[in-house]
Structure 1
Amino acid sequence: MYYKRFTAAIAALAFVACNTPEKTKNGETDASAFSADSLVRHIKVLSADSFEGRKPFTEGEKKTIGYLEEQFRQLGAEPGNGSSYLQDVPMIDILSEPEPVMKVQAASGVMELKGLDEYVLSTPKTDSVIRLSNVPVVFAGYGVVAPEYNWNDYEGLDVKGKIVMVLVNDPGFNNGDTTLFKGKTMTYYGRWTYKFEEAARQGARGCLVIHSTAAASYPFSVVQNNWHTSELRLDNKDEKLLDAQGWITMEAAKKLIMAGGQDTGIIAKADIRGFRAQQLNATVSTGIKTKVTRSQSHNVIAKITGSKYPDEYVLYTAHWDHLGIGKPDARGDSIYNGALDNASGTAALLEFARVWKSQKTPPERTIVFLAVTAEEQGLLGSAYYAQHPVYPLAKTVGVLNVDEVNNYGRTKDIMVVGQGQSEMEDLLKEEAEKLGRYISYDATPEAGHYFRSDHFSFAKAGVPALAQGFGIDVIGKDKEYGRKMQEAFNTQHYHGPSDEYNTSWDLSGAVDDLQLLFMVGKRLAYGHNWPGWKAGSEFKAERDKSAAERAR
């Protein structure tokens, strides 16, 4: 027993030794300035009850952006938007009030689908009333147009003025063919947000995504939570929008398909290359009333100007917002503090700024610190920045995003979300190996986690973006311990009032992870290389355009 404890102690000491950043020539360590105490100080402030859960458009937002401005100023980081630390983000808050049923008219007669139980519907439009009257329905497979995969569910199909009904995820998930798209790993084409966007581009009036718990990675109850609730969207006047968008249960979709004179076997046929969309001999009718509020939120931006290539940019990002005040939990607590999600990531952003300012040699490229709003409402702050960049995206080298930090101790691994997407992954792997660590990968890539945080807004625009998660190979524990810690947060605290700072948190692993992300940023900031997307990435073509633009 003594021998085992002694051996374990020696191994732990060896890991600590090799897990220390390399020293510079003057004896100081580049990344050793990261501090768990400093992280805790910011987390406590940002997740305090007085910040009211940091929801956009509230007093909590005012306190949050005021705190971030002051901290960046004290750290010596320059205003990132001209003379200001703020970027205005105009938004629309839409409360959709759909009618309780959707009437289906078919050759076999009339039937009704029940709202909430069988479908969920809303509108992104600001009209006071949306009326759908006898609108034709088309089953369009997965609703995907993916040239790099030689796949087009809309080929030869006119859906203008119609409702398209499409499957969630993409063909590789259900087919079992690992060479189709990315097999079980979800691509962006599998996300419901893409389905709505593509349907709007095709001229459809509406889109219903067919729900499957396995394919969506969450039960229908999750989307039911959006029934009769308000949703934020960006106030983009030239954006193509659907009249109605939502989800439908698999059972209700099958009822609609059969009513429309088709066999439900067409659902499985959608997985096969060459599938052609099917017009159903059925129409639907329903309506939606809306209440609309226009307002303005803010991204917070700071920078350290590069000494050699000031017009080339490395971005560190995190979202400052959370859910505000909502339904009380069993304890009667109604403040959704969001300590881990994402006061911790916002605190990390301030740490990055502090450590970068402490460097003896300033970065050659400009370092930008971007705290974005409304991530919880659909990545809206980062999407707005990507659409209205303060710094040209073609000159943005890469993005390192922090959405939650490890709060249960040091790990040998650091997780990459989105395996095989960009060369940023390779840089992280190299830096991890220098410190005796290794990278692991998202255990459930079919859930599409790569598309659920702010780095994705940049990926869509072609900028290589690293999505880091925390590892499970906890030093002195087994991997099951790390899995249980993650599961405990997801099941007990995620998006609940109990996501509060606790003195039992161990942020030593967070410090290790931030050091790694700093070192990746250093590789970019003191070099002149441009990481790209790997072959097969759905974002590669957009970056290739940027490369051509830089070459001109």
Structure 2
Amino acid sequence: MKSSISALFLLLSFGAHAATEQVLPKADANRIQAHLRFLSHDLLEGRDTGSKGHEIAAQYMASQFAQLGLQPAGDKNDYLQQIAFRQAHLVQDSAKLELNGPDGKTALEYPRQYLTSASLSSEVSELQGKLVFAGYGIVAPELQHNDYANLDVKGKVVVILSGKPTSFPSEEGAHFGSGSEKNRHAVANGAIGMITISTPLAEKVRPYQNLLNYLHMPSVSWLQADGQPANQYPQLQNSAYFSQEAAALLFAGAERSLADIYADLEQNTSPAGFALPTSIHFNKRSEHKTISSPNVAAILPGSDAQLKDQYVVYTAHLDHIGLAKTVKQDKINNGAMDNASGSAVLLETARLLSNLPQAPARSVLFLSVTGEEKGLLGADYFAHHPTVPLQSMVANVNLDMPILTYEAADVIAFGANHSSLQSAVADAVAKLGMSLSPDPWPEQALFTRSDHYMFVKKGIPAVFLVPGLTSMDPNVDGAKKFGEFLHSDYHKPSDELNDKFNWRAAQRFTEANLQIGLTIANDPVRPTWNEGDFFGTTFGQ
């Protein structure tokens, strides 16, 4: 009876909200442009994690939250949540790798034949051991797949294929095929090192030659209370990524050649593992440095006595990739679209919500995160060190790189199909004459590739919101505009404030974002995972 009375009270409370539903204010395109202009200015030098430029940007976000009268939700009654990180750079000339196989010893050439990144666990890394091929290195009991079944890798170095079997569902497969999952299972089975080899599919999607652009990118991880980097596996003494040319050498004299393995992949068959007649000796050195970089968090308190202790969380990453090392002229990666645009939309959404005559029923948490470009690090830290109770967060709406070059007639909410947020988002944007479109690129598993996924891994339903591909102007091809940015400007100095921006598009997307958050915040029923959904079942609290 008590639960029924409580439910009735919530419905009556919601009815009061609905009866006095406000006419929502219009977003101010000039304010969005002003935020974006500052956050993507050359002065900030690309807002790299731990840089002075990102620190300036974080102070800007905090000052805007304070101006709106939002409550600080960082550390010690501040808007900033300071995070200590370990940053590791590879000493480029230190990488030395030698194979010892049936044809004798072969020294491989870095970076032409293999790539390796700095170690976060040790400044001096040395790996020596026998090699074992372990398929994709995936353990996925839900998909009846275990590459380590009947395979002895204890004290050995596993050789694994990049990616995942093509038969795997895209998003679930992205989880099982992630580096963190592969590392975890390698360690659980006793491996001491890992070699990942390129595949024909990997070469089509992300050619080995293109990976050379990331040679100087540091490895970064947030530090735990004991001073050790989070999410690392020091048991894996060294790791590398081999080109197809180098990968063939691993299978010389083995029971199956690399060509045989690739033939299996062509037939959509996942090859079984086996021992290789080759051993490896691999050394490198890394330089460690401790840096600090903050998340910025603020709260708009809810107005409903029963719901104000629950939170709808808006996120947008503030960091970008800093200065380019291989560009001779304009070296500043300003990150205007990625993600100054999302941060500007977040600020304007916060302003509109805070100026409503009546606050939403639930509280709203605005979170500007750092370290997204380094591996979703700021969001992961917040998920492990939340400044409000984890179980009180009912949903996350994430804004990452909205392409604001055309006025969209629809929105895409990656991940909406996994929870009741799908109907919430569809209902919300319908009020603006917009529609919710399905994920146009399911094979890319974008649901697992931005900050919201750190909330999903804590059991919180989430959506990753971007403008859809249908333009309001029939003469404008939204998909083409989206593709042009990815091809010409993504992670390049050309991603800067210019006349490609459509400020009406920014205004319209902000209003959609506002309506979505308000719909979730005022719904008397907490968002839920769909029955039997993989992510809800795997991570639901």
Normalised to the residue count of structure 2, the TM-score between the two structures is 0.87
Report whether the alignment pairs 1:357 with 2:344: no
Cα shift readout 1:119-172 (whole Å, capped 9, x = no counterpart)? 211243342311112x1222222222223222222234443332222222221x
Structure 1, unpaired ranges of 5+: 1-22, 174-179, 547-552
Residues 234 and 380, structure 1, Cα contact 8 Å, conserved in 2: yes
How far 1:535 sits from its partner (Å)?
A: 5.4
Amino acid at match of 2:214: N
- Among 269, 278, 292, which residue is 2:274 paired with? 278
Counterpart mapping for 1:35-184 below 5 A: 35-81=28-74, 82-97=76-91, 99-133=94-128, 135-171=129-165, 173=166, 180-182=167-169
Question: Is 2:188 aligned against 1:188?
Answer: no
Counterpart of 1:482 in structure 2 is: 478
Matched, 1:219 2:219: no
Counterpart-to-counterpart distance in 2, 1:515 and 1:395: 25
- CA 1:116–1:423 in structure 2 vs 1: closer, same or farther (change >3 Å)? farther
1:205 aligned onto 2:192: yes
| Distance in structure 2 (CA, Å) of the matches to 1:215 and 1:87 | 38
Structure 2 gaps of 5+ residues are 1-16
The offset of 1:185, in angstroms, is: 8.3
- SS of the residue aligned with 2:374? coil
Counterparts of 1:306 and 1:170, CA distance in 2: 44
- Secondary structure of the structure 2 residue equivalent to 1:316: strand
Amino acid at match of 1:120: L
1:268 offset after TM fit, Å? 5.2
Q: CA deviation at 1:197?
A: 4.1
What SS does the corresponding residue of 1:138 show, helix, strand or coil?
Answer: strand
Q: What is the one-letter code of the residue matched to 2:314? A: Y
Residues 275, 498 of structure 1: CA spacing in aligned structure 2 closer, same or farther, 3 A cutoff?
A: closer
For 1:295, the equivalent position in structure 2 comes to 291
SS in 2 for 1:359: coil
Q: Deviations over 1:272-322 (max 9, x none)?
A: 788642222221111011111012111000011223223322100001111
Q: 1:227 offset after TM fit, Å?
A: 2.8
Aligned positions of 1:494-533 closer than 5 A: 494-533=490-529
- 1:224-253 CA distance string (max 9 Å, x none): 233354221222326441322332223422
Q: In structure 1, which of residues 302, 314, 319 is the aligned counterpart of residue 317 of structure 2?
A: 319
Matches within 5 A, 1:430-445: 430-445=427-442
Residue pair 1:54, 1:321 contacting (<8 A) in 2 also: yes
Where do 1:380-391 residues align within 5 Å?
A: 380-391=377-388
Structure-1 separation of matches of 2:135 and 2:490: 33
| Other-structure match for 2:8 | none
Q: Deviations over 1:410-440 (max 9, x none)?
A: 2222123347333323322233334332223
Q: Secondary structure at the match of 1:469?
A: strand
Q: 1:33 aligns with which of 26, 43, 48?
A: 26
Aligned residue identity for 1:387: H
Q: Name whichever of 305-314 and 290-299 sits farther off.
A: 305-314
Report the equivalent of 1:540: 536
Aligned to 2:363: 366
Structural RMSD (CA): 2.7
- For each residue in 1:459-506, what CA deviation from the matched residue of structure 2 results, as whole angstroms up to 9, or x when unmatched? 222221101222221122356x22221122112211111211124421
Instruction: Give the Cα–Cα distance (whole angstroms) in 2 for the partners of residues 138 and 445 of structure 1.
Output: 33
Q: 1:312 to 1:419 in 2, by over 3 A?
A: closer
Instruction: Confirm or deny that 1:233 pairs with 2:237.
Output: no
Q: Which residue of 2 aligns with 1:10?
A: none
SS at match of 2:116: strand
Using the alignment, how far apart are the partners of 2:519 and 2:189 within structure 1? 42
Tell me the amino acid that sits aligned with residue 145 of structure 1.
V
Deviation of the 1:403 alpha carbon: 0.7
Corresponding letter in the other structure for 1:486: F
- Mapped to 2, the partners of 1:85 and 1:471 lie a distance apart of 32
Query: Cα deviations across residues 188-241 of structure 1 (Å, max 9, x unaligned)?
Result: 223344433443444432223322463473221333233354221222326441
* Partner Cα separation in structure 1 for residue 122 and residue 326 of structure 2: 33
The answer as to whether partners of 2:429 and 2:436 remain within 8 angstroms in 1 is yes
Deviation at 1:382, TM superposition (A): 0.8
TM-score normalized by the length of structure 1? 0.85
Describe how 1:405-484 pairs up with structure 2 within 5 A: 405-418=402-415, 420-478=417-475, 481-484=477-480
**Does residue 1:340 correspond to 2:355, yes or no?**
no
Letter paired with 2:277: N
Contact 2:55–2:294 at 8 Å: present in 1 too? no
